[in-house]
Chain A
Amino acid sequence: MYRSISRPEKPSMFWKETFRQAHDIGIGSLAIIAIVSTFVGAVSAVQFAYQFRTINLVPMWWIGSIERKGMILELAPTISALLLAGKVGSNIASELGTMRISEQIDAYEIMGVNTPAYLISPKILASIFVVPMLVIIAVMLGILGGWGAGLLGNFYSTSEYFRGVQDNFDGYDLVIMSVKSVLFGFIMSSVSCYKGFTVEGGSIEIGKASTQAVVYSSIFIIIVNFFVAFVLL
């Protein structure tokens, strides 16, 4: 795998492949990220509103603040990463696994292509760039989801909610979100590339590699998530 960080044969081909991967990962995952993050934001707003109503001591505009913090620090990076591990990770592992089994990787090798540099690096690089962008979108949509749910349930007014969203904003939260996003993008893509690239056998092994890519990526993401929070917060 060390060959994946070596210099690619032709930078123009490398960047073309990187942009193709970025497009596939980014645009291809936009819909699922948008749907899930919107509803995660919405359901957390409903949950908080339910709790706050019960307690009846906390002002409702706090929900906006909690939504913002929760989405930036935890929900958007982690849920997006887990979703992407399932969607993109399994796709990467099965794509590379199929290329391995159908001798496409051998074909690259025989041509003299540094296959890890051409097939693995663009995927990792694209993930590192695209996952943070998706997470930013997830944060925004999650916050909007919370607002929508609040309006629907008549928990708070628009001005109350956005007062909370803007209240006591700390830029450091964005640093943590970025660190998590980059790390999760790297974990998801590198684990999946490794599982796919090293497949041996046939279609059953591709299925196993794909499943293992999702499982291992998810586990690593959850563990790293804890350590990042522990160290940075």
Chain B
Amino acid sequence: MIEIKNIKKNFGDHQVLKGISATFDTGKCNLIIGKSGSGKTVTLKCMVGLLEPDEGYILFDGRNITEMAFIERKDVRKEIGMLFQGTALFDSLSVEENVRFPLDMFTKMSLEEKVQRVNFCLDRVNLKNTNKKYPGELSGGMKKRAGLARAIVMNPKYLFCDEPNSGLDPKTSIVIDHLIREITEEYNITTVVNTHDMNSVMGIGDKVVFLHEGLKYWEGTNKEILSITDGELFDFIFASDFLKDLRMRAKF
């Protein structure tokens, strides 16, 4: 379980996070949603340690990483897998080398064991016969799968996904969402997904946290979210007049 408590973050005079508290459950897909500029990415970056919050705590199963030294934090980071918005695959390495990199860096496994593990992870994300290809040779969906394979190769306890569906067509987005959900349940991972894709919310949102202007505005499940009838969250979910109209018709 990951808990964030009263996280605040300023960039100069601009306060991006104004005191966000939330709990992200183990074995569930926890979604952070919100409009662009609502503070989703900053929240995620604070959680994974890429940004330091100005105030507040972040607890990974009770371990406060905000008070940890760099060396201690490294141990927690080894339990984290992350799928980046742009996948962040290393251009100079092949898919196999990309996925193998954390194993090369942090384990004493033999090359054969590492390759076995890499192949297992690539199979798990349905990415076969791409071991020797380079990121530049892959489609957007394949890159996301490779990124996901790299994120899970070390058996992480925590999986973070930043806009996993950005740049993908709706069908591939659903495939990636399902993969994230399956992996979360299969390995009992605490997964935190940062998205503004309502298909993802409805598909995998076991728990949804809606941010608005740097504050937590709403928290619930994807079942509960449809009962919202007004306010910022309603505007976010039913962004277009067409959807609003559809919602109203369904209600009556």
Which A positions have Cβ atoms within 8 angstroms of B?
3, 9-10, 13, 98, 102-104, 106-107, 109-114
| Cβ contacts under 8 Å, A107 to chain B | 82, 84, 88, 90
From B19-27, B100-108, B169-177, B237-245, the one touching the partner chain is B100-108
A3-B70, A102-B86, A106-B88 are known; give 17 further A-B pairs, CB within 8 A. Answer: A10-B105, A102-B88, A103-B84, A103-B85, A104-B90, A106-B50, A107-B82, A107-B84, A107-B88, A107-B90, A110-B48, A110-B49, A111-B101, A111-B105, A112-B75, A112-B77, A113-B105
In the complex, chain B residues whose CB is within 8 Å of the CB of A111: 77-78, 101-102, 105-106, 154
Inter-chain contact A9/B91, CB cutoff 8 Å: no
Cα of A111 to Cα of B73 in the assembled complex, Å? 11
Residue of A nearest to B101 (CB): A111
B50 lies within 8 A of A13 (CB):
no
Q: Which residues does chain A contribute within 8 Å of B77, judged by CB atoms?
A: 109-112
CB of B149, distance to nearest CB on chain A (Å): 13
CA–CA, A107 and B154, complex, Å: 14
Select from chain B the residue with minimum beta-carbon distance to A103. Answer: B88
CB of B80 within 8 Å of the partner chain: yes
B contact face: mostly helix, strand, loop, or mixed: mixed
Q: Are B84 and A112 in contact (CB under 8 A)?
A: no
Sorted nearest first, the 6 A-B pairs with minimum C-beta distance are A112-B77, A107-B88, A103-B88, A112-B74, A112-B78, A103-B84
Whether B104 contacts A103 by the Cβ 8 Å rule is no
- Nearest A residue to B153 by beta-carbon distance? A111
Contacts of B49 in A (CB 8 A): 109-110
Counting chain A CB atoms within 10 Å of each CB, which of B49, B88, B89, B90 scores highest?
A: B88
Q: Shortest beta-carbon distance, B189 to chain A, in Å?
A: 15
Closest to B75 in A: A112
Residues of B within 8 A of A110 (CB): 48-50, 77, 80, 82, 160
Q: Are B104 and A10 in contact (CB under 8 A)?
A: yes
Q: For residues 55 through 92 of chain B, which have their beta carbon under 8 Å from a beta carbon of chain A?
A: 70, 74-75, 77-78, 80, 82, 84-86, 88-91
Distance of B145 from chain A, by nearest CB (Å): 16
Residues of A within 8 A of B74 (CB): 112, 114
Known: A110-B49, A110-B80. A104 touches B91 (CB 8 A): yes
B21-50 vs A: 1/0 string, CB under 8 Å?
000000000000000000000000000111
A113 / chain B contacts, CB cutoff of 8 Å: 105
Q: Specify which of A3, A98, A109 lies most central, judged by the most chain B CB atoms within 10 Å of its CB.
A: A109
B106 touching A112, Cβ below 8 Å: yes
- Least CB separation from A113: chain B residue: B105
Cβ-defined contact, B106 with A9, below 8 A: yes
- Known interface pairs A103-B85, A103-B88; A9-B80 also in contact (CB < 8 Å): no
For residue A112, which residues in chain B have a CB less than 8 angstroms away from its CB? 74-75, 77-78, 106
Instruction: State the Cβ distance, B175 to closest chain A Cβ, in Å.
Output: 22
Provide the residues of chain B in CB contact with A9, threshold 8 Å.
Answer: 105-106
Chain B residues, CB < 8 A from A104: 88-91
Q: B164: shortest Cβ distance to chain A, in Å?
A: 14
Q: A206 to chain B: closest CB distance in Å? A: 14
Point out the residues of chain A lying under 8 angstroms from B160, CB to CB.
110
CB distance from B154 to the nearest CB of A (A): 8
Shortest A28–chain B CB gap in Å is 13
CB distance from B11 to the nearest CB of A (A): 12
Q: Which of B97-141 contact A (CB under 8 A)?
A: 101-102, 104-106
* A108 shortest CB reach to chain B, Å: 8
* 16 A-B pairs with C-beta separation under 8 A: A10-B105, A102-B86, A102-B91, A103-B85, A103-B86, A104-B88, A104-B89, A107-B82, A107-B84, A107-B90, A110-B49, A110-B160, A111-B101, A111-B102, A112-B78, A112-B106
B105: A residues at CB distance < 8 A: 9-10, 13, 111, 113
User: Chain B nearest CB: distance from A126 CB in Å?
Assistant: 15
A98 to B91, alpha carbons, bound, how many Å?
A: 10
Q: How far is the CA of A144 from the CA of B82 in the complex (A)?
A: 55
Shortest beta-carbon distance from A159 to chain B in Å: 50
B residues less than 8 Å from A109 (CB atoms): 49-50, 77
| CB-defined contacts of A106 to chain B, threshold 8 Å | 50, 84, 88
Closest to A12 in B: B104
- Taken together as a complex, chains A and B put the C-alpha atoms of A112 and B77 apart, in Å, by 5
